[in-house]
Amino acid sequence: MNSTKLFHFKYLWQNIKKSKSIIIFLMCAVPFINLWIVGLNSLNANYVLDFAKISNITAILSFSFPSLLAYLLFGFVFKRKTVDFIMSQPITRKKIYASNIFGGIIILLITVLITTVGFGLLSLFAKIYIPIGVLIDYFIYWLITYIFVFLISSLAITFAGNIMSSLVVILLLLFLFPTLSYLNYSFRYASGNAIYVCTDEECIPNREIYCLNSTDNCEVIDESRVNYYFYYNFTGNLSAPVNYWVTSEFSTPSIIKTTILSLIYLVLGYYAFKYRKMEDSEVSFKNKYLYEIIKIATFIPVTFIAYTMSSDNSAYILISLVICLGYYFVYDLVLKRVITDPIKLILKSIVVSSLIFIIYIILNNIYENNIPVIESIDEVTVSYNEAKLGISQSIPITDEGLIKKLIRGEDSVGMANYMVEIEIEGKYYTRRYVAKDTYNELVNYAKENNLGEKFTADNIVYVASSLDSSISVSLNEEFKKELAEYINNYEIPEDPDNLFVSIYKYENHELKRIDVKINDNLNLLNHIKTSFNDHFIKNFDGDEIGIAGADGTENYEEENQAINRNQDRLLEFLKEHKNDELDGEYVILYYETERYIINREDFFREYAVYTS
């Protein structure tokens, strides 16, 4: 297709040129703010940053920057004289729309690219590490999200007659679905803190004593067990990005839905612009029915706040009423700048809020009476840090005996370290405390059935000291292969130990960490030793140095005193020997979180010579 039939590049250039200062400022400011905030947060701590950590500020900017860009490109429709100027030019509406959208996307692409490259440079030169996979995900996710918000804003501007009304439409398109989803979630959640009475076969919610919300007396425990039972927010996925105003987790379904919705908004925007009545500039919504519909849509979240307040405490009923009435007045004042008939407005507000309240009450009752019985389990998630496997992973279970044990759960007292999440009907999760034996059974089941997650050399992205993540170990293929093999056959020992490393893998858009003991593996120790030793020497500032054996024993009191008598000499010695290959038993010198690894025999023999 001939691009000049769709785009008018000269017009586009001129349209961008007229706002070049603001656009260039934004294209610099957005990456700068991102890098500054992330860099600032990482100044005093060394992080391996995952998608969420580098996305926090981007999520906020994703509302403002693309909307502002849409105003710069399409904002001419709000003023009669700019409408006259642009629309009288020899360019079709299709080309104006297509050129502005194309230009906007290019600007967004450059901005997100600069930010991504900036993060890459930050990773290279600052004390943080961002895996390449995270950078790629960041670029894809936020580019699509920025484009999505830009398209929504363009559509809203085309629909509305002035800035305020377009802002209302943008907020509606962005937040109405997530808000409805959140409201739905809230009702489910409120009804969901149920107390279950469990047998070996099933757990039945005790409808007599269910809790309305989390602040009620849900802590009371009798023979049955209190279980969090919460709704998995699948309706949130219908909107896009998935609740990104709540969380900024990378989500493939969200990306797909956002892309599809973006295409829909792109087409809607085109037709809205093509058939827009340009004479409708400088007024809010020409159509009075559309005005009312949009007003009611924006009223839903307000009524929800009012409903929640008044249902929690009847003393708030009056305040709720004032909120509902006040909103109707404020809305008209902002958009119309005039209140024509206050009495009619009050009546309307009362009627509409009453209707919405009735819907809320019905929804609440429906959910309260439909708390599901737990009788089967689809999948069990062994939680991160609590898992003996060392890493969060989902395990599908078919073993009937194990399922029954998990359904029933165990007495929660003292079981906090053995908690699993179970998935029910693909929509719900419940957290259940289990006894240590059941937990071990679950872990063994996963191992025997080869269900656990596997490490490969490719998905290991970072290795650091588990005590201080700034001690990173340079990765080479041989080391990564050895690590992967080691981890896949690894079992976390029961006894505490003092030489763990954290291994990070990035897979399926998730950064996961496993802490593994490497005391027994000389091969791996030789890979990491130099990094640890260098760090030890570099950061030493006169602390008391301790000595421990490879197995963690610390019975070197005399030697300890000896080495601390002359630390300067010791450091000289350590500098000389930091690269020594480990070939047998070794000792670990330590202070705070630092570790120095050296052959035991060498250390004691040569150190004795050195100090004599």
Q: Applying CB under 8 A, which residues contact other proteins?
A: 10-11, 13-14, 18, 79-85, 87-95, 277-279, 286
Q: Which is nearer to other proteins, 14 or 417 (CB)?
A: 14
Question: Taking the complex as a whole, how short is the minimal distance between the CB of residue 87 and other proteins, in angstroms?
Answer: 4
Q: Which is nearer to other proteins, 18 or 565 (CB)?
A: 18
Residues in the chain, total = 612
Q: Which is nearer to other proteins, 288 or 337 (CB)?
A: 288
Considering only the C-alpha atoms of the chain, give the largest distance between any 2 of them, rounded to a whole number of Å. 100
d(CA 191, CA 203): 16
Phi and psi dihedrals of 286, rounded to 5?
-65, -40
Q: Which is nearer to other proteins, 95 or 295 (CB)?
A: 95
Local structure of residue 278 (DSSP, 8 states): G
Q: Which is nearer to other proteins, 125 or 275 (CB)?
A: 275
Q: What is the DSSP string of 361-421?
A: HHHHHHHHTTPPPB---SEEEEPTTT-TTSS-EEEE---HHHHHHHHH----TT-TTSEEE
Question: Taking the complex as a whole, how short is the minimal distance between the CB of residue 294 and other proteins, in angstroms?
Answer: 19
- Residues in contact with 485: Cβ distance below 8 Å, sequence separation at least 6, in sequence order: none
CB 330 within 8 A of CB 295: no
Q: Which is nearer to other proteins, 89 or 417 (CB)?
A: 89
Q: Which is nearer to other proteins, 100 or 123 (CB)?
A: 100
Token digits of residue 167: 């802002």
Question: Taking the complex as a whole, how short is the minimal distance between the CB of residue 461 and other proteins, in angstroms?
Answer: 48
Question: Taking the complex as a whole, how short is the minimal distance between the CB of residue 282 and other proteins, in angstroms?
Answer: 12
d(CA 119, CA 122): 5
Q: What is the DSSP string of 420-434?
A: EEEEETTTEEEEEE-
Cα dihedral 84/88/92/95 (nearest 10): -60
Question: Residue 162: in which H helix or E strand, if any?
Answer: none
Question: Taking the complex as a whole, how short is the minimal distance between the CB of residue 20 and other proteins, in angstroms?
Answer: 10
d(CA 519, CA 585): 10
Q: Which is nearer to other proteins, 1 or 416 (CB)?
A: 1
Q: Which is nearer to other proteins, 6 or 176 (CB)?
A: 6
Question: Taking the complex as a whole, how short is the minimal distance between the CB of residue 72 and other proteins, in angstroms?
Answer: 11
d(CA 451, CA 444): 10
Question: Taking the complex as a whole, how short is the minimal distance between the CB of residue 88 and other proteins, in angstroms?
Answer: 4
Q: What is the DSSP string of 451-486?
A: -S----TTTEEEEEESS-TT-B----HHHHHHHHHH
Which residue bears the tokens 């363009």? 154
Q: Which is nearer to other proteins, 14 or 365 (CB)?
A: 14
Phi and psi dihedrals of 388, rounded to 5?
-70, -25
CB 352 within 8 A of CB 174: no
Q: Which is nearer to other proteins, 81 or 538 (CB)?
A: 81
Q: What is the DSSP string of 512-525?
A: EEEEEE-TT-HHHH
Question: Taking the complex as a whole, how short is the minimal distance between the CB of residue 153 and other proteins, in angstroms?
Answer: 21
Question: Taking the complex as a whole, how short is the minimal distance between the CB of residue 83 and other proteins, in angstroms?
Answer: 6
Question: Taking the complex as a whole, how short is the minimal distance between the CB of residue 103 and other proteins, in angstroms?
Answer: 14
Question: Taking the complex as a whole, how short is the minimal distance between the CB of residue 1 and other proteins, in angstroms?
Answer: 17
What are the distances in angstroms from CA 344 to CA 72, 283, 349?
Answer: 38, 22, 9
Q: Which is nearer to other proteins, 104 or 452 (CB)?
A: 104
Which residue bears the tokens 């600052």? 126
Question: Taking the complex as a whole, how short is the minimal distance between the CB of residue 274 and other proteins, in angstroms?
Answer: 8
